[in-house]
Amino acid sequence: MIQITIPLNMLGMVYREIRQSLIDMAEMFALLDQPPEVSDRPGAPPLRVRDGHVRFESVEFGYDPVRPILKGISFEVPPGHTVALVGASGAGKSTIGRLLFRFYDVSAGSVSIDGQDLRDVTQASLHDAIGIVPQDTVLFNDTLYYNIAYGREDATRADVEDAARAARLHDFIASLPDGYDTQVGERGLKLSGGEKQRVGIARTLLKNPPIVLLDEATSALDTQTERDIQDSLRAMSAGRTVITIAHRLSTVVDADTILVMEDGRVIERGSHDALLARDGQYARLWTRQAREAA
Ligand code: ATP
């Protein structure tokens, strides 16, 4: 009997581990959605990032050739600048993120970083250069320390704490009885959406990539959490090229340029003030969200 129950118990554990990792994978690919469909060109060199200048030039793309999704998208993100993508669900914002990560190749036009077409460099080097902060940061069933340090294998304790500090997470962690050794994830402490996103930001700060793709969480946050997130996003954006898929207009206000998307096209672009003054689609979005928030 014992011989049977032990393996069954173990099987249960293994099953739970596998299920958890499948959940992790599913969350991880929520932004990326699908495994890569592209491969490296033979002999492709690594991407050399000088200052992180991102350029989309007349990009056309469809997941299915008969259904175009992006219909001639052109924009650039100069080094150190933040561009925010806003627009209705299905407008193509996440698709732009997936093309930057080269999960798919464009059907016309090009995407380049510092003048190098993404199709001409290795994917590994491209993925090293871009940090992703997903909508819902995946937490491993491990300690908070592990979950942050995951951003960089050779990180020291001081590096991890510095990243947590910059992500406005350190004080919260220090207030927990087990501090950085607190277990999180399915079988540990449940973190709020805002805390989870800050773990994602701390990881990215630790990885220290020149380019960041931020898929902002849609969930409504209370004022203090929103302020903490904004502070940690500001720390992460300093000196980096950032593309934000924006859902909350508070992030957008800080962006150097806002691209308003509709049905695979950019219909308005400019700073928050310029777009408000224009009194077009963005101004309408802004008024609606401000009213909803009130
Ligand atoms: P949201 O704000 O809801 O995330 P979005 O602006 O990011 O929307 P995308 O996710 O880029 O929009 O989707 C643009 C269009 O592409 C949608 O019509 C969507 O149905 C389609 N689409 C997205 N991913 C896939 C996919 N993997 N295969 C086929 N079509 C897809």
What distance, in Å, lies between the first and last C-alpha atoms of the chain?
A: 63
- For residue 34, give the amino acid letter: Q
Distance CA 281, CA 286 (A): 9
Distance CA 255, CA 225 (A): 19
**Sheet bearing 108-113, strands edge to edge:** 70-77, 54-61, 108-113, 116-117
Q: What is the ipTM of this complex?
A: 0.97
- Which of the listed residues 60, 94, 214 should we mutate to test ligand 1's pocket, taking the one with most ligand atoms within 8 A of CB? 94
Mean pLDDT value across residues 62-86: 96
Nearest CA to ligand 1 atom 17: 90
Ligand 1: centre distance to CA 31 (Å): 10
Residues 6+ apart with CB under 8 A from 245: 85, 93, 94, 96, 97, 213, 214, 215, 216
pLDDT tens for residues 80-134?
999 999 998 899 999 999 999 998 999 999 999 999 999 999 999 998 999 988 8
- Ligand 1: does its nearest atom lie under 6 Å from the Cβ of 34? yes
Nearest CA to ligand 1 atom 10: 94
* Cβ burial, residue 68 (10 Å; 0-12/13-18/19+): middle
Tell me which residue has tokens 């096209």: 265
